[in-house]
């Protein structure tokens, strides 16, 4: 963009939202331009921080007129580089963080209407203040925003019972690529009036439009909740234990998280203040949560009796039921610190995959074997939301090997893991999305028919290709 043209463009942005919300200084821009794991640093013409839907719409119109690409951004906690601009500096980042109002809570309809920049944690707190539950729960909830959660169709630990973000959203407000505001803020559980545009924008990673607000579902707050940490001898046992507890607890089972021993080793190495739950090591662990409208006593009886049945049938090795808040917090902190512990240990090769639950044990057996054959001594950090068939299957270097050397094997390791995932009819991205990190992999595993339909939707909604171009697909010419 020529200097005069660029000055006119920036002057218009300043006129639209005020100079204090147009960030041009390199130092002030820095935190918007690097991803959470510090893997990519982009550049931008400016960081724009609108304060209302109307201001977002005005900015998109200006960008469209001047053919400036837009990268929408929320909390910048995404894990596939979707919210980071390219290094050529030709795009603007539109940060939604100032759109942070709770617009309405309708307790009788069990819905909450929130702006896209609201932190997930603040939405949970607002729901709680009205004796309701907003069940999306992620380790990044203190930093990520509802807009980002919707744009990535976030999952987390409550999906087993409540579904992912798509299932928790009833309506959306979106600024489309022309800068028009679509008000689809419907608070309806049934609405079959043609194509579901809401579902198109959810999971679109900022490539179709900018989500500015949403109507989300609320649930009754449970009266009692219990967590148990369970030691397991094998993946097959873990899956059979999941089936048993699902059968016995039904909708009361609100979490079933898996961790292998190496994940726990990393957490205890880097967070030594967390209490060890078991004194001896086991191959796998499940962290389970039961929630109920009944008293804690009834829930405890049912949980203990299920654990007893599991124990007598040889499915579990050991179990600890948490009876205090601090014990419960300690167990969840262990689970939620696995990502941070890996980051402290060094870099490793990460995969966010999902599989039919019936295939997970075979997948792990075969993939572990294939990787060990090719890279003897490599260490698996296997954890995730087993109840949803979602594994974070990460590969760390053999002990003593430098992480940067091991990372050179990334392409071949990704191929081994993703080929096996595909073989077992799984997905190469369960909850983090595609961004720029997995777009080559997408080409490898999606059919031409599916990719063509996806590109058709992109072209129809964003014909000038200004909405987050280069994310999900290569730039469409
Ligand atoms: C420690 C940690 C744990 C995590 N755990 C989980 C987990 O359990 N489950 C899970 O699903 N994810 C998890 N994540 C990933 C991440 O937190 C989620 O993807 C989250 O939903 C991203 O929200 P955000 O506001 O940070 O979005 P950003 O990172 O800012 O953006 C993510 C994508 O959404 C687009 N976007 C953002 N806001 C908008 C908007 N308003 N309109 C249109 N597009 C937009 C961006 O362009 C980008 O493509 C974790 C991340 C961390 C760091």
Structure confidence by residue, pLDDT tens digits, 444-464: 999 999 999 999 999 999 999
- Mean pLDDT of the 409-417 span: 97
Q: Specify burial of residue 38 (Cβ count, 10 A radius: 0-12, 13-18, 19+).
A: exposed
Task: Report helix angle 296-312 to 235-249, nearest 10.
Answer: 140
Q: What is the DSSP letter of 41?
A: B
Q: How would you label 99-127 residue by residue, b for 16+ Cβ within 10 Å and e otherwise?
A: bbebeebeeeebbbbbbbbbbbbbbbebb
Contacts for 192 with CB less than 8 Å, ≥ 6 apart: none
What are the backbone angles phi and psi of residue 415, rounded to the nearest 5°? Answer: -65, -40
- Mean pLDDT of the 432-455 span: 95
Distance CA 314, CA 211 (A): 49
Residue 262 neighbours by CB distance under 10 Å? 18
> Does residue 135 line the site of ligand 1, with CB under 6 A?
no
What is the strand order of the sheet 22-23 is part of?
22-23, 46-48, 91-95, 69-73
- Mean pLDDT of the 300-304 span: 94
What is the Cα 353 distance to its own chain's centre?
Answer: 12
Distance CA 405, CA 396 (A): 11
- Whether residue 353 is predicted with pLDDT greater than 90 in this model: the reply is yes
Ligand 1 centroid, distance to 148 Cα (angstroms): 4
Q: What is the pLDDT of residues 372-402, one digit of tens each?
A: 999 999 999 999 999 999 999 999 999 999 9
Compute the mean pLDDT over every residue in the chain, rounded to the nearest whole number.
Answer: 96
> 91-100, 255-264, 295-304 — which is least confidently predicted?
295-304
- Mean pLDDT of the 151-164 span: 94
Q: Which residue has the tokens 């209407």?
A: 113
- Whether residue 2 is predicted with pLDDT greater than 90 in this model: the reply is no
Distance CA 278, CA 299 (A): 23
Ligand 1 centroid, distance to 84 Cα (angstroms): 12
**Residue nearest atom 11 in ligand 1 by C-alpha distance:** 154
Distance CA 212, CA 397 (A): 42
What is the CA angle 461-464-468, rounded to 5? Answer: 75
- Mean pLDDT of the 156-161 span: 91
What are the backbone angles phi and psi of residue 225, rounded to the nearest 5°? Answer: -145, 135
**Residue nearest atom 52 in ligand 1 by C-alpha distance:** 140
Percentage of the chain exceeding pLDDT 90: 94
Element (H, E) at 422: helix 410-423
> Does residue 36 line the site of ligand 1, with CB under 6 A?
yes
- Whether residue 182 is predicted with pLDDT greater than 50 in this model: the reply is yes
Residue 477 pLDDT? 46
Rounded to two decimals, the pTM is 0.95
Distance CA 230, CA 321 (A): 8
- Whether residue 403 is predicted with pLDDT greater than 50 in this model: the reply is yes
Q: What is the pLDDT of residues 164-175, one digit of tens each?
A: 999 999 999 999
- Mean pLDDT of the 422-434 span: 97
> Does residue 383 line the site of ligand 1, with CB under 6 A?
no
Q: Which atom of ligand 1 is nearest to the CA of 340?
A: 1
Q: Do 211 and 151 meet the contact criterion of CB atoms below 8 Å apart?
A: yes
Helical residues (DSSP H) of 93-229, grouped into ranges: 120-129, 146-151, 159-162, 165-168, 197-201
Element (H, E) at 245: helix 235-249
Contacts for 162 with CB less than 8 Å, ≥ 6 apart: 135, 136, 168, 219, 254
Distance CA 222, CA 233 (A): 32
Q: What is the pLDDT of residues 45-64, one digit of tens each?
A: 999 999 999 999 999 999 99
Q: In angstroms, how far is the first alpha carbon of the chain from the final one? A: 19
- Whether residue 176 is predicted with pLDDT greater than 50 in this model: the reply is yes
Q: Do 140 and 27 meet the contact criterion of CB atoms below 8 Å apart?
A: no
* Mutation pick for ligand 1 pocket among 121, 138, 162 (CB with most ligand atoms within 8 Å): 138
Q: Following DSSP, what letter does each residue of 461-476 receive, concatenated?
A: H-TT--BSTTSSSSPP
Residue 475 pLDDT? 67
Q: Which atom of ligand 1 is nearest to the CA of 143?
A: 26
């Amino acid at each position: 963009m020529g200097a005069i043209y660029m000055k006119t463009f920036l002057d218009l942005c300043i006129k639209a939202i005020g100079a204090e919300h147009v960030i041009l200084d390199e130092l002030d821009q820095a935190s918007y331009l690097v991803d959470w794991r510090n893997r990519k640093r982009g550049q931008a013409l400016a960081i724009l921080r609108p304060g209302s839907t109307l201001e977002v719409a005005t900015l998109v119109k200006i960008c469209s007129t001047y053919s400036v690409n837009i990268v929408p951004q929320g909390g910048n906690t995404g894990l596939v580089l979707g919210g980071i601009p390219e290094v050529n500096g030709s795009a603007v980042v539109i940060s939604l963080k100032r759109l942070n109002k709770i617009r309405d809570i309708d307790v009788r309809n069990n819905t909450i209407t929130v702006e896209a920049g609201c932190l997930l944690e603040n939405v949970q707190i607002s729901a709680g203040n009205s004796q309701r539950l907003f069940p999306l729960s992620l380790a990044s909830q203190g930093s990520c925003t509802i807009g980002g959660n919707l744009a990535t169709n976030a999952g987390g630990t409550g999906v087993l019972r409540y579904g992912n973000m798509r299932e928790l959203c009833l309506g959306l407000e979106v600024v489309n690529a022309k800068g028009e505001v679509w008000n689809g803020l419907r608070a309806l559980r049934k609405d079959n009036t043609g194509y579901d545009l809401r579902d198109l924008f959810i999971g679109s990673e900022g490539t179709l439009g900018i989500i500015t607000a949403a109507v989300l579902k609320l649930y009754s707050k449970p009266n009692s909740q219990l967590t148990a940490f369970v030691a397991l001898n094998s993946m097959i046992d873990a899956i059979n234990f999941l089936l048993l507890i699902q059968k016995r607890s039904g909708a009361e089972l609100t979490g079933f998280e898996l961790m292998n021993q190496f994940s726990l080793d990393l957490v205890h190495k880097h967070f030594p203040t967390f209490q060890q739950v078991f004194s001896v090591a086991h191959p796998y662990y499940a962290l389970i949560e039961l929630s109920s409208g009944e008293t804690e006593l009834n829930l405890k009886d049912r949980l203990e009796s299920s654990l007893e049945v599991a124990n007598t049938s040889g499915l579990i090795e050991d179990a600890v039921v948490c009876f205090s808040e601090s014990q419960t917090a300690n167990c969840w902190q262990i689970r939620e610190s696995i990502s941070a512990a890996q980051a402290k240990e060094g870099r490793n090769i990460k995969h966010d995959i999902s599989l039919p639950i019936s295939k997970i044990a075979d997948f792990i057996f075969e993939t572990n074997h294939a990787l060990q054959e090719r890279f003897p001594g490599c260490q698996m950090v296997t954890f995730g939301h087993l109840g949803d068939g979602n594994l974070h299957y990460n590969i760390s270097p053999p002990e003593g090997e430098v992480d940067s050397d091991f990372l050179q094997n990334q392409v071949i390791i990704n191929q081994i893991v993703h080929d096996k995932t595909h073989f077992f009819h799984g997905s190469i991205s369960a909850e983090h999305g595609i961004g720029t990190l997995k777009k080559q992999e997408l080409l490898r595993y999606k059919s031409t028919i599916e990719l063509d339909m996806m590109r058709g939707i992109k072209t129809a909604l964003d014909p000038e290709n200004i909405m987050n171009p280069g994310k999900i697909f290569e730039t469409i010419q």
